[in-house]
A = this chain, B = another copy of it.
Amino acid sequence: MSTEKIPYKIYLSEDELPKQWYNVRADMKKKPAPLLNPATKKPVTAEELGAVFCDELVKQELDETNPYIDIPEEIQSFYKMYRPAPLVRAYCLEKALGTPAKIYYKFEGNNTSGSHKLNSAIAQAYYAKKQGLKGVTTETGAGQWGTALSMACSYFDLDCRVYMVKCSYEQKPFRREVMRTYGASVTPSPSMTTEVGRKILAEYPDTNGSLGCAISEAVEAATSSEGYRYVLGSVLSQVLLHQTVIGLETKTAMDKYGIKPDIIIGCAGGGSNLGGLISPFMGEKLRGEADYRIIAVEPASCPSLTRGIYAYDFCDTGKVCPLQKMYTLGSGFMPSANHAGGLRYHGMSAVLSELYDQKLMEAICVEQTAVFEAAQKFARIEGILPAPESSHAIKAAIDEALKCKETGEEKTILFGLTGTGYFDMYAYAAYNDGTMSDYVPTDEELRKSFDTLPKI
C-alpha cells in the first residue's frame, strides 16, 4: 500500500491493467434466470443464440461458472490505446460542497466514443473478426454505443451498420458524423429497411423510436444478411463481463492506495456501466469478504428498477430476441422524447436485476432538471462536461456527500463517470435556456405498458 498523498488522478501502469475479465455470476449462489426462446419458452441453447450472436460471445453469455475469463492479447493492446482510465479524487468538488466525504470517480470519457462503451465494443468486434464475419449490426440510442462500435469495427476492418433511435438521430447529427467518419452506415429507426421497422411505422407512424425498436431492426438486419451477427451495447451478461475492466482497474487503484469505498454509485440504463464498475466489489460482498452500499441511479422518466416488475419480458419491441427475466417496464414502454440522453431502455440487465432482487444493491431515480443542475455544477467545479447519463450518478454522489456534511461522517464515495457530454449540447442548451422539463410516467401509463409483458 502506498503511503503518499492520494494524487488528483490515479493512473495504473500498463502492467497493472486487467488481463482477465471477472464474471460475477460465478460467485452468485442464486444465478440470474436463463434466457428463454420466445417461441418454445424453453431456455435458449447455444446453437439458437449462435444464429444471432458470435459463437465466442454466446459462450460468455451462458457461462455462469468461470469467475475469470482471459482478455485476448489483441483486446488488451487496444485497451492500451485509451486505458487505463483515471480514478479521480474529486478534491475540488469536496471543497466546494464543504463535505467531509471523500469522493472518487472513475472517468471513462477519455476516448473518442466519449464513454465506457468502447470496452465491450472492441471485444465484440474482435470475436466477430475472429469468427471470419463480414460485419455486425447494432442499435444505438444516445449514440455512445454506436460510436464505440464504429471505432472498433474500423480497427478490425469490419462493416458496421447502426440503427439509431430516430429522435436521437435527429437531435444528434454530429454523433452520426463521427460514426460515418469511422466508416459506419447509420439508419434512423424505425426505418423502412426492415420488416419489423415497416410494421412498427405502420402502427405508430409518428413514433420517436426506442431502443427496443432499433434492436429488433438490427437483429433482423443481421439474421437476414450472410456473414453478419448482431451485437448489443448493454443489458447482456457478456457486456457486463467486458465492462468489468472498469471495476477491476478501480479496485486495483484503490487497493494500491488503501482506499475502501463505503458507497458505490452508478447510473443505470441497461446496466453495463454499473455492472462493470461494481462487479469486483459485489464479488467480495457475495463471498462475504467485504460490504459496500451499492446504489443504481436511473432516470425518473424510465424507472425500470424503481417502478418496474421483475418478470420475463421481451428484450425488443419486435419480440424477436430471447425472453429475459429482468426488472422491466414492459417492451411497449416508450420513453418521453423530452428525456435527454441515454438510459432509456425498458428493462435492466438480468444479473443486476437478480442482485437487486436479492437486496444486494439499492436503486433510486432522479428527475432530469436536477440531473442537469448537478451536471453544470460538476462541470464548473471539476472541469469535465459530463454526459447526461453519467450525471445521474453525479447527482446521487453529491446528495450522499451532502448527507455526510450534515452528519459529519467521513464516508468514501465512489461513482462511475461514464462519459462526456460533447454531443448532448442540445440538452444543455435547453437547461441553459430554462426550457428543460421533467417527465415522470403516471401509474396508469406504467400499467398499460406492463400489459405488454408476455404471459409465462
Contact = CB atoms under 8 A, between A and B. Distances in A.
A383 B422 contact: no
Contacts of A369: none
A151 interface: yes
B81 A178 contact: no
A420 B112 contact: yes
A111 B174 contact: no
A213 to B, nearest CB: 25
Contacts of A383: 78, 81-82, 111-112, 151, 155
A425 interface: yes
Contacts of A174: 174, 422, 425-426
A61 to B, nearest CB: 26
Interface string A55-66: 000000000000
Interface in A345-381: 376, 379-381
A129 interface: no
A34 interface: no
A334 to B, nearest CB: 27
Contacts of A380: 151, 154-155, 182-183
Given A174-B422, A420-B112, A181 B379 contact: yes
A385 interface: yes
Interface string A173-187: 110011011110000
A110 B383 CA distance: 11
A429 B181 CA distance: 8
Interface in A415-452: 420, 422-423, 425-426, 428-429, 432
Given A112-B384, A383-B155, A425 B178 contact: yes
A407 interface: no
Contact of A376 (B173, B181, B379, B382): B181
A382 B81 contact: yes
Contact of A425 (B80, B82, B177, B384): B177
Interface stretch (A8-16, A45-53, A274-282, A313-321): A8-16
Contacts of A82: 383
Q: Among A7, A80, A177, find the residue whose CB has the most chain B CB atoms closer than 10 A.
A: A177
Contact of A80 (B9, B183, B384): B9
Nearest to A150: B380
A94 B420 CA distance: 29
A385 B178 contact: yes
A28 interface: no
A92 interface: yes
Given A7-B13, A80-B7, A81-B8, A379 B112 contact: yes
Interface in A1-55: 7-9, 11, 13-14
Nearest to A420: B112
A151 B11 CA distance: 24
A273 B382 CA distance: 24
Nearest to A423: B422
Given A155-B380, A385-B112, A420-B112, A180 B432 contact: yes
Nearest to A7: B14
Contacts of A428: 177-178, 180-181
A182 B379 contact: yes
Contacts of A8: 14, 80-81
Nearest to A384: B112
Given A155-B380, A422-B423, A177 B112 contact: no
A384 B110 CA distance: 9
Interface in A321-336: none
Ranked 3 nearest A-B pairs via Cβ: A174-B425, A422-B422, A8-B80
8 contacts: A8-B14, A81-B382, A112-B379, A112-B383, A112-B384, A112-B385, A177-B425, A178-B425
Interface of A: 7-9, 11, 13-14, 78, 80-82, 92, 110-112, 114, 151, 154-155, 173-174, 177-178, 180-183, 376, 379-385, 420, 422-423, 425-426, 428-429, 432
Given A155-B380, A174-B422, A178-B385, 7 more contacts: A112-B383, A112-B384, A155-B381, A155-B383, A173-B429, A174-B174, A177-B429
